[in-house]
Structure 1
Amino acid sequence: MIKPALVMACLIPTIASAASFDCDKAHSPLEKAVCADPALSTLDSSIATSYNAAMQRLSSDGQTILRDGQRQWLHFVRDLCFVPQDASSVEFCLTQHYTDRLKDLSTAAVTIGPYLFSRSDYFSASTHDKAGRPYEIHTGAPRIDAPLSPTIALWNSAMAKQTMHADGSDCGPGHGDEYSGAEVTYASANAISVRTTNEEYCHGTPHGHGGSAGLTYMIEPHLHALEASDLFNMDTAWKDFLTGRSYEAIEKKADGAQVERKLVERAATDIRDWTLTQDGLLITIDPYAVLAYAFGTTEVIIPWRDLKPFLAPNSPIPAQT
């Protein structure tokens, strides 16, 4: 009999007391489902390992935030996966959300640049549509656990406001399935850049909608959202350069479809489409911005060495460039 370290053990504050779950004593539907499937048992054990490793690195506040998110996630999978359905559907649902949670926990305590980042999550599947199907809601935001300062506290607050609070549903009365998350793509003493993703699916519609955006804050000399002048010398042809590179990528992807250069310029020079990375400037152009939805998202990354002639003297880019 497989004896995984069931995820509930993660909620015990003292990490050393998180013992393996005895499947011979499984009694709840969740426990029985995990014990009945070797793949789920492995995922469950991996989640417990990742969670405990993160807890060991985090501050007391970071541990509390991570623990609260884990508790919400447990209620989330119970409410979502154990609505009336057959055993195979339960297994599929659990596998999907256990896999997603394991990915979340990979960023629960990670060092990027000079900072230790953790994460804050909110989960809910407690409300239902008219057919009794739960609405899935998951919002997640990165936070800096250490080192803390008044400026970093302001950054944490800004990230929470940006990614943890929905702007309202576009699904009419009630709401749909909602996901909001953010990935840290670059961090230095001068700037932190994240790529945010927001998606919503209105029940009964052919497909969901949403997209990605960049969110970069300058940390020094004072906290503020990135402006074009922080990155580029305004007296150079940086707009034409970004537009040209983006146009080339979109035209190649369009496979003969008409591409309007003005739309490309609007997207390529929009700071909300920019994300700083170690390798270069990532421009993310969502469906409908230039091409039809079927073409999907277009990503254009321009190396810092190619942007060097256009950069401002104190651009917040990697030092080796």
Structure 2
Amino acid sequence: MGQQLHTGAGALGLLLCTGLTAAAFDCAKARLPIEKAICADPAAKASDDAMEAAFETLRPALAGPQRQAALDDQRAWLKQRNANCLQNKTPASCVADANGARTGVLTARPESGPGLERRPQPFFVRQAGSRDKVDVALQLYRFADPATPGERLLNTRADETVAKTDFKKEEPEDRDWSREESWSIAYASPAFLSVWATSYEYSGGAHGGAGGQGIHIDLRRGRIVSFADLFDAKAAAEIDRRCLKQIKAEKTERGVGDDEQPDLGKQVADVVRNLGSWSFKETAASVYFGQYALGSYAEGTYNCDLPMDVLNTLSKVPLPPR
């Protein structure tokens, strides 16, 4: 996971060490390189203050063990942010960008859409790795006191993610095993919630595996939205055509071609018809083709981008649902 560095970043660093709320950091006391970079840049300092305020607001609202889990996650995130940004050519802008994204996580801010009637809370699960334990870092979302079928369904999906996580290695060994998953709210409205889950897992093999999955919830009916709910066979064929064209062009650009893949069209169609491979935003959707979906591990992943105005000429219902 993250490199072991000073947490720094002023008052939030103090907050994380003491567990107490604190005022904004006094830049006259800045001594670490990351603190000096933040204090020298007004945008970075403002973003740090906003991120600190978001954490101070969130943590008291969390119940029981989640308060400590949030603290552990924030400490680990700060170490990783500092490690990354100190190596960046422009540390202050790196910090500002990282803080903005983190504030979005802490406040469950959707990346697009009009927003939910009420927001969920981030839900953290962490475990330090050892010879017999997997290093686990999960950042999910759950609703406190869920009141609707849609809210309860999101909580169920979060609980299922935790339940399927292996916390112990198959047998003790010195190599570090890891399991990471982070959820982002790609689109949110009172009717529809689209979450994108990014994951990584390493369990002692030749290499780890990265992945992505969409969770799309009809909030009013409390059910997972399927491809067939949105598109008929004619629309599916047109989406297949568009994605196949994009994939072929990308394969050519990467120098791998498609001459030896006579079933590429079917492979593309199989992924397209699984709405769990989709991510929705306000103006576009994207279909994710993960490792091995269309080629070897070394070939990597692919995406097919579909403008929402095009999808709305094909879909059974207006997209994205509002």
| TM > 0.5 | yes
- d(CA) in 1 for partners of 2:84, 2:314: 49
- d(CA) in 2 for partners of 1:3, 1:240: 52
The residue number in structure 1 matching 2:222 is: 223
- d(CA) in 2 for partners of 1:243, 1:3: 48
Measured after TM superposition, the shift of residue 172 of structure 1 is 4.2
Q: Where do residues 200-219 of structure 1 align in structure 2 (5 Å cutoff)?
A: 200-203=201-204, 205-219=205-219
Change (3 A) 1:263 1:59: same
Change (3 A) 1:71 1:156: same
Gaps of 5+ in 2: 1-7, 40-44, 88-93
The residue number in structure 2 matching 1:196 is: 197
Give the aligned residue type for 1:312: K
Provide the TM-score with structure 1 as the length reference. Answer: 0.71
Deviations 1:21-73 (A, max 9, x none): 9999xxxxxxxxxx8731267679866751323443x5953487764333223
Give the aligned residue type for 1:121: F
Q: Secondary structure in 2 aligned to 1:51? A: helix
The residue number in structure 2 matching 1:31 is: none
Would the aligned equivalents of 2:59 and 2:67 in 1 still touch at CA under 8 Å?
A: no
Question: Percent of pairs identical after alignment?
Answer: 16
Change (3 A) 1:199 1:170: farther
Give the aligned residue type for 2:171: P
Would the aligned equivalents of 1:218 and 1:224 in 2 still touch at CA under 8 Å?
A: yes
The residue number in structure 2 matching 1:158 is: 156
Gaps of 5+ in 1: 25-34, 82-90
Give the aligned residue type for 2:309: R
Would the aligned equivalents of 2:148 and 2:222 in 1 still touch at CA under 8 Å?
A: no
Give the aligned residue type for 1:269: R
Deviations 1:231-250 (A, max 9, x none): 22x3x412211211111111
The residue number in structure 2 matching 1:28 is: none
- d(CA) in 1 for partners of 2:315, 2:85: 48
The residue number in structure 1 matching 2:283 is: 279
Would the aligned equivalents of 1:137 and 1:177 in 2 still touch at CA under 8 Å?
A: yes
Give the aligned residue type for 2:32: D
Measured after TM superposition, the shift of residue 8 of structure 1 is 4.1
The residue number in structure 1 matching 2:250 is: 253
2:135 is the counterpart of 1:136: yes
The residue number in structure 2 matching 1:186 is: 187
Would the aligned equivalents of 1:192 and 1:216 in 2 still touch at CA under 8 Å?
A: yes
The residue number in structure 1 matching 2:296 is: 292
Measured after TM superposition, the shift of residue 267 of structure 1 is 1.1
Change (3 A) 1:72 1:53: closer
Change (3 A) 1:36 1:59: closer
Measured after TM superposition, the shift of residue 298 of structure 1 is 1.0
RCO (CA 8 Å, sep 6+): is it higher in 1 or 2? 2
- d(CA) in 2 for partners of 1:195, 1:281: 12
Change (3 A) 1:208 1:111: closer
Would the aligned equivalents of 2:150 and 2:223 in 1 still touch at CA under 8 Å?
A: no
The residue number in structure 1 matching 2:51 is: 50
- d(CA) in 2 for partners of 1:14, 1:63: 16
The residue number in structure 2 matching 1:240 is: 237
Provide the TM-score with structure 2 as the length reference. Answer: 0.71
Provide the alpha-carbon RMSD of the alignment.
Answer: 4.1
Q: Where do residues 67-86 of structure 1 align in structure 2 (5 Å cutoff)?
A: 67-73=67-73
Would the aligned equivalents of 1:59 and 1:145 in 2 still touch at CA under 8 Å?
A: no
- d(CA) in 2 for partners of 1:111, 1:92: 25
- d(CA) in 2 for partners of 1:12, 1:225: 42
The residue number in structure 2 matching 1:310 is: 314
- d(CA) in 1 for partners of 2:28, 2:9: 6
Structure 1 residue runs of 4 or more that deviate by more than 6 Å after TM superposition? 11-14, 21-24, 43-46, 63-66, 93-96, 98-101
Change (3 A) 1:152 1:307: closer
**How many residue pairs align between the two structures?**
285
The residue number in structure 1 matching 2:4 is: none
Deviations 1:64-88 (A, max 9, x none): 776433322367589x99xxxxxxx
Would the aligned equivalents of 1:279 and 1:303 in 2 still touch at CA under 8 Å?
A: yes
Measured after TM superposition, the shift of residue 164 of structure 1 is 3.4
